Structure 1
Amino acid sequence: MSQFVNLEEGTSGQLPMGHRNGTNTGISGHIQRYTLDNSGIEVQGISSSGRESTRPFYEKALLHWKKILRIFWPLVKISPFIWCANKISIEPFFLYDTVINSDKKCVKIDNTLNTVGLILLPFQILIIIGSFAFLARARRVGLLKKRLHRKILFLLLLLDSLTYIPIGPDVLLTNAIWPDPELSNRRSNFYAANLFLLQYFLTVILLYIIFTRATRTWATLAKTTWAKAAFNLLLYVHGGHVFGGLWYAFSIEKEIGCWKKACKHYALECPLGYYDVCDLNSPDYKFINEFCQTKTQNTAAYDFGIYHDAHESGIVEMWNFPRRVLHCFRWGLQNLSGFGQNIQTSTDAWENIFVISITIYGMVLFVFFIGNMQIYLQSQTKRSEMISQKKQEIEQSKSFKKLSENLQKQIKRYQPEKWEVTKGGVEFGNFFNNLPDDLIRNIKRQLCLELLLKVEEFRRWSEELLDELCDCAKPVSYAEQAEIVRRGSSIDEMLFLVQGKLRTYSLTSVDTGSAASPLRFETSINHLEDGELCGEELVAWFQADLYSSNLPISTRTIQTIKKVDAFALMSYDLQNVFIKHQTTLSTSTQVQAPPPADSQPQAPPPPAKPPAQQPASEI
């Protein structure tokens, strides 16, 4: 006998020999797999007859692990989205980890950002693990069996591999600080920068794919009108953040390039990597100020291009980190929103590529935003037309015209945007959707009370009981040619027609006067129209036996000729009101004629409960 563990209740039991569940059973000590829940996370339990004392520990551990997975599994599902958003939000901050010392012409490192990066690294690793766990889960449950799904998985893994590579922004200035004499400093710098920019674009593509698939599979997100607008704003803000950070890093690289050109211009031997040493013994390189005039736009000596504003404002020399980020963020948003039209570039090729990237990204975001706005406006226009059509149909219905002018105004005024539109037109129950209780009660009084008074028994009842009957009445609708009651079935409701037409079929026996065939049955057909009712047999039935648990049998078949709107009074509701009516009559009789002294008062019977048979569908 092999053991099994009940993960829901924390108990263990035995399975018969030969039991098969996709794993080997019946052999002590074999590993058996158990599925925790619908999250698809599986654990392995070891069943061994020699470890009876340790089984409770494993059971408790499995139960605790299951609870933890249930709590954090929803976050695992969106971990790829969180990872991408986290990547494009945090990594650009490391573009600001260098500051220029203009006096000594050197570059210093802001180690504060490196400390923050080490703190955030474990969280990034957890998000990466969650991303691949979600993809593995999707493949295990069979979501990726089709060839198309496998291609999508391959694309996601390729984008993941390129976006998850830890190309820290610190490498942008690695060669500027520790130059390699065999390579061109400037070229390697820009290669690293454009690699980071390419990685950012791939991350945005992956983020867009994840968001698009989420809107197609998550009903809640698909119905949210502001989701796409928020996503577009997220990409716009992050774009300004990234391009602002790159602009800052390229500005420092441009400054270093000017220093090198100044050394060549004055035919001076500048030591290798001199701009990385900011100590007291640093030589005086103030002659560079004459060549690299950052405060004035001297394009004859050296053209800083789009980076002139960074040097003129002194932002590359500022140690105040928030001010640096805010200034560059403003620059990124301003030029992204203007598609880079106001940027004056130099003749440098990589600088122009950077500006082209800003223009293309801004245009893509603009087209994406315009498309979302167009979809939103179309949906709002369609929704407005549907509400207008619904309002017009309700105003033209007979039920609406029967209401007083005051109630008509209240219905048209109260939350028309919440009215639901059905394919078959306006349903009778839509009068009562999203309306306050007091307004619903008043509508029922005006539409239903007049119909109730057509029953002779109800005319003798008090106003309080009639109001209770109105409250019990439920608005129902029946489609054309629908069968409401079949001959021989029980009658479980009274139907008061507000709008529509019914046809009834009943069999009538006719005496032929012949001994061979004394009786002959004929079909009698009648019609019921607006203001009439059916199911009045229930009134006589409860008058004869108030506490009967059975219901009367219908002697006719009732079918709709065209669409019917009506109020349905269910048998159990009618029986309860009858009991209250009988109790009221008994109480009033006892007050008028006191009972003998030896008589004891009897408790009223309990109210009737709804039968097992389901009533007509409500709208």
Structure 2
Amino acid sequence: MTFSSFGNALVPSNHFFEVLFSIGVITSGLLLFTLLIGNIQVFLQSITSKKSEMQLRNRDLEWWMRRRQLSHRLRVRVRQQECCRWAATRGIDEESIVGNLPEGLRRDIKRHLCLDLLRKVPLFEQLDDLILNNVCDRLKPVLFIKEEPIIHEGNPLSHMLFFVRGRILSMYRIHDKRMSNCTLGPGDFFGDELICWCLSKSTGRLPLANASLITLQVTEAFSLSAEDLKYITDHFRYKVASKQLKRTTRYYSTSWRMWAAMAIQLAWRRFKARRSKFYSGPLNFAPLRNESSGLDAAQQDRLRMYTAMMSCPKPTEN
């Protein structure tokens, strides 16, 4: 209303220039008001078009799920995934937009989006900018809804994941039905077995995942496929194959940490058994004394240790 009444308070005299100035002020106010109305109309049209596009896509999804006769649980997961994706991107296909740009501009955009996040990952702190640029160019953003299984233990590991936001539960099978859990968060990664697989000579079969991942929150991550990682390790082997990077990978690896925790736990249990002749805890595989087996306490201790080490194998070491 201020723009529409701009200049109404002016009371010009009969002087020509005062009348001309008043006309100019009033005209400027009307033009500004018209421009404001036009911008509001464009904004409302864009919101309406986005909403119509979302409704159309949801209608297509519902028709497709009915046609394929998906179960109720699968339909709920599809709807949640679509809502999370729409909330994160507003329906914009980032991959197609960035992929159609020139290579130099695309690399600069990927560097702007991913480089700071990669530097938060301890695995990449020691890599130079040339390698990081190639990694950034091959990263793909992925989005997971809450309580969504990401990777199942025993399945081929086809990509590495670098988590940006959210919390993920990693479940590691120790023995039979016994599980060990840990929580991953922003800055953590999963799939370091692929690095050893890429650096090894036998690259026919993909390594198997040694843990299962389930999201506890809506999770955003970047994915690096095994083919892209193989390309990077082949072209930058002088840096990737360094002993310092191997030690860093081993230190921050979930599987190596789990194995180290198991080894420390076994050593502590053996120490307690030697002093008290008694094993306690969840890894109680057999009674300490078994007269029918013909084994003494020391032999049974070693047997327990080998059984536990076989049930919790050491991660692949290149």
Q: Where on the TM-score scale, by shorter chain, does this alignment land: which range? A: 0.3 to 0.5
Asked which structure has the greater CA Rg, the reply is 1
Report the TM-score when normalising by structure 1: 0.24
TM-score when scaled to structure 2?
0.44
